[in-house]
Structure 1
């Protein structure tokens, strides 16, 4: 049975429903960053647009508490209905999905009408995850706020694909490492006793301050201190953190991801994936000013090709290899 849905202009749009038996659960792609200002929202929207152009239904969910602006990047007016209504129990998450003028692409408006501090609890995030999987879409792109807050890390951990966005600036690179460290610790915390977890944090701090008396292996440390064989590192090899370096101006910027990948492997025994480098392009901010996303305004730009390659590597690598 079809339902009607009201968009941000109060137009009544047809919206098809389907039972959970009719389709597989939506895949969740989460984009995060160690600090703000690295272009995380641009990456989130670009991944969503690219997947929609490939024929997949996509919902972009804005969970940036510090400044929801997916609607701005997408060039649409803010809706009077937003995700606040889900957390207040007024609407279901599906009822907050707003279609765009572009085929296969919808979004959930983030908090933009709150003038007091907002925060998520772990319980709220854990309850949200199955709701995200249940949205009527092939892919759900979640745009998180900046920083390694515990609710961010919990949602990042649950994602089918985890994108960590950085830029070539030193402050961004440093915060990227801190986010990765926090993610490792958060994931291990659920299987640790308070004593062993505290010891792990203390050892990591000593490692950072270069006060350990011998070379440090995070994986070996966990086994020696707890006697447990964690599968954390093996599972992240299957579903690794995908690093995206945004706003690359020079060749060494484009190669930065390989350096970060090497450091994570050497110091944390952690394998991450360098998903790609995105070039700096003045057309990005110009398109936001013109209220039309650059991938729609300039569909044949080099940026479009870079996001297309990244998406196809994840959803259809065999086809990409055939083309290459």
Structure 2
């Protein structure tokens, strides 16, 4: 079974694409066939991090010329790294920033059918529905943070938004369960003394089976956070601080997956279009990524999640507005 690894961040500029590309190379070096997918639909540039040429066709063209009978497999390109492949983005094509839910489901289904061991999704930053829905392709997606207060807060917003989105899509449209979720998340959790356990109690009054389902979903939702560009012991502790906030307010577990040290050669490697894992494989940054790849290989693989369809766009806008106010 293929394993999908979404890589997201609450804000831009934290090194997400650099980690995605170098992690893909590390998995390939360990003998695993890996496909990197550029799903930053508003600003795709993953090919640059790999040192590959600008693609003539990518996901943007695939979406713009939509045909439900076509497959993403036709977009796969070889890279100079053995066993590493790329599905490039294509941000020059308009209309890809906000995808209909059925297109996202089709993309994820195509990716799950690829002949590969791992598929790494390099997502955009922030909490748009595109980011959240692709992040939820796995229960154990990677969230990249930098040692900055804004990055920590935005990462928390991403995790909270993804959890709400997963809970919401797990129940049918127009259901009473969805309304309970919308009402609950429209209020601020942080500092209120309320946490996500409360919604399980609320749901028990509607349907004990739905409450049990909520509890099961929350117990399986397990994001993994990577702190990038770390320099000091204080930076190291910021990842632990985020875990404390997530556990206290959302009542879910979160793994502090890795601490990646700052290395100025990463910036140079991007300028030279030569990934650090190829040019300086003994660098501490690369050594930690190799350890991450080994941990990922040991993880059990999971089936693609199945969700109920979205509601109309007006309701989605109302939900996102409510969620944004409550962060």
TM-score, normalization: structure 1? 0.82
> What residue number does 2:143 align with?
164
CA distance in 1, matches of 2:277, 2:108: 29
Superposed displacement of residue 208, structure 1: 3.9
Which among 225, 233, 255 is matched to residue 273 of structure 1? 255
- CA distance in structure 2 between the partners assigned to 1:117 and 1:85 by the alignment: 9
2:86 to 90, 107, 110: 107
CA contact (8 A) 1:64 1:111 kept: no
C-alpha change, 1:33 and 1:296, in structure 2 (3 Å) is same
Where in structure 2 are the equivalents of 1:1-324 lying within 5 Å? Answer: 25-87=1-63, 88-89=65-66, 92-114=71-93, 118-159=97-138, 161-190=140-169, 191=171, 196-208=177-189, 210=191, 212=192, 215-225=193-203, 226-227=206-207, 228-232=210-214, 234-235=216-217, 237-238=219-220, 240-316=222-298
How many angstroms apart in 1 are the aligned matches of 2:164 and 2:186? 12
Q: Secondary structure at the match of 1:145?
A: strand
Q: What secondary structure does 1:207 align onto?
A: coil
* Worse-superposed segment, 252-261 or 139-148: 252-261
Aligned to 1:32, the other structure's residue is in SS state strand
Structure 1 or 2, whichever has the larger Rg, is 1
Contact 2:225 2:258 survives alignment (8 Å): yes
Gaps of 5+ in 2: 300-327
**Residues 133, 275 of structure 1: alpha-carbon distance in 2 compared, 3 angstrom cutoff:** same
Displacement, 1:241?
0.7
What's the CA shift string for 1:160-183, capped at 9, x where partnerless? 641111111111111111111111
For residues 224 and 239 of structure 1, the distance between their equivalents in structure 2, rounded to whole angstroms, comes to 20
Give deviations 1:104-156, integer Å, cap 9, x for gaps. 11101101433677321211111111100111211111111111112322222
Q: Name whichever of 226-235 and 290-299 sits farther off.
A: 226-235
Give, in whole Å, the separation in 2 of the partners of 1:238 and 1:196: 19
**Long gaps (5+) in structure 1:** 1-24, 318-324
CA distance in 2, matches of 1:182, 1:158: 14
C-alpha contact (below 8 Å) 1:94/1:136 kept by paired residues: no
Whether the 8 Å CA contact 2:139–2:220 is kept in 1: the answer is: no
State the superposition RMSD in angstroms: 2.4
Distance 1:235 1:195 in 2: 18
Structure 1 range deviating more: 64-73 or 225-234: 225-234
Q: C-alpha separation between the residues in 2 aligned to 1:59 and 1:297?
A: 21
Structure of higher RCO (CA pairs closer than 8 Å, 6+ residues apart)? 2
Look up the SS of the partner of 1:158 in the other structure: coil
